[in-house]
Amino acid sequence: MAVSMSRRLLRSLYGPLYAFGRCDSPTITFRSFRTYYDLCGHLHGDNIFSPGSSGLFKGGSSVAANRWLSTSILTPESGEGAFPSHLLSTKPLAMAERSIGLYQDLVIPVTNFHNEDKGFMVLAGDVFDVPIRKDIVHRVVLWQLAKRQQGTHSTKTISEVSGTGRKPWRQKGTGRARHGTLRGPQFRGGATMHGPKPRSHAIKLNKKVRRLGLKIALTARAAEGKLLVFDDLEVPTHKTKNLVNHVKQMENTKKLLLVDSCPIGEKLKLATQNLHYVNVLPLIGLNVYSILLHDTLVMSRDAVNKIVERMHTPINR
């Protein structure tokens, strides 16, 4: 009789959902209902058993008519007796990872070297959330490394080598190979043929591609959670040990790049000049290669605003 009444009660409350997990035992029926809901919860991203939920599915559809289901917040600590606590799911719902390259604005907390809360900042999606393209980054890095080569290598040609221009011996009769000079490349101390001369190794790369490469590098650091925004980069003292303690508080940080918009403070210069894993750059010097060379990027709030303004400035042709 009790089992029959439980079936009627469940059928009146859940309707077709009861048929999905129909079984001879009401306890198994509850478990089947929970299994069915867990499946739907992963598909719809909502949970009736989590705090703040007001319906079975997102928006509350099939059981919205049952007031105790649509208005009660069911948690394992709930004392109203609306639903057995041991049947509620305590497993946290796995959230899907954020897709990169959707040009969505990002909200990031702002802090400082003392790990104080300085509010939040919105990062422009067209600068910090662009599609990742390794080919663009590769082209920009090659352009940077080629352009920074000094190109001062030089060798001497036969006219530049020191030595006489006299014919070493007569043309015939000695049994030796014929030669006209001792400054040739086959002799010791002679000339170098087709050797390098001072030149520029720079290659051409469009400004549009260079700008896109910088956006991709900033996006990669933001997606990895390795982009930190500080209210300012002012340090209270020039002592290196204080900055070392601040760096140790950052998780998984091996090389740190600090970028500030204004001229670098003298205290920050003195504090970082003996640390090989901490480098400081002004905003004008921010580049793709330096960002990739350091696993953590720290920018001041003013630097972020100015880099976004620079990325939005039309390219002069």
Quick: pLDDT tens for 72-130: 444 445 444 555 556 555 555 444 577 888 999 999 999 988 888 999 999 999 999 99
- Domains of the chain by residue range: 2-87, 106-148+204-312, 155-195
Task: Tally Cβ neighbours within 10 Å of residue 157.
Answer: 14
Residue 74: predicted pLDDT: 43
Which range among 20-34, 77-91, 137-151, 256-270 has the greatest average pLDDT? Answer: 137-151
Quick: pLDDT tens for 125-157: 999 999 999 999 999 999 999 999 999 999 999
Is residue 28 predicted with pLDDT exceeding 70?
Answer: no
Residue 252: predicted pLDDT: 86
Region 211-233 average pLDDT? 95
Range with lowest mean pLDDT among 94-103, 139-148, 205-214, 305-314: 94-103
- Cβ distance 261 to 303 under 8 Å? yes
Specify the higher pLDDT residue, 243 or 38.
Answer: 243
Cα–Cα separations (whole angstroms), residue 307 to 10, 48, 90, 304, 311:
61, 44, 44, 5, 6
Residue 236: predicted pLDDT: 87
**What percentage of the chain has pLDDT greater than the value 90?**
59
CATH no. for 106-148+204-312: 3.40.1370.10
The token duo for 152 is 């001062």
How would you classify the pairing of strands 106-111 and 120-123? antiparallel
Q: Concatenated DSSP letters for 82-106?
A: SS-GGGS--SPPPPPPPPSSS---E
CA distance 22 to 265: 72
CA distance 290 to 295: 10
Residue 19: predicted pLDDT: 47
Is residue 65 predicted with pLDDT exceeding 60?
Answer: no
- Cβ distance 178 to 238 under 8 Å? no
**What percentage of the chain has pLDDT greater than the value 70?**
69
Which residues touch 266 (CB under 8 Å, ≥6 apart)? 238
Q: Concatenated DSSP letters for 149-194?
A: ---------TTTS-S--S-SS-SSSSSSPP-S-S-STTSTT---TT
Range with lowest mean pLDDT among 34-48, 59-73, 147-161: 59-73
Task: Tally Cβ neighbours within 10 Å of residue 127.
Answer: 23
Region 158-169 average pLDDT? 93
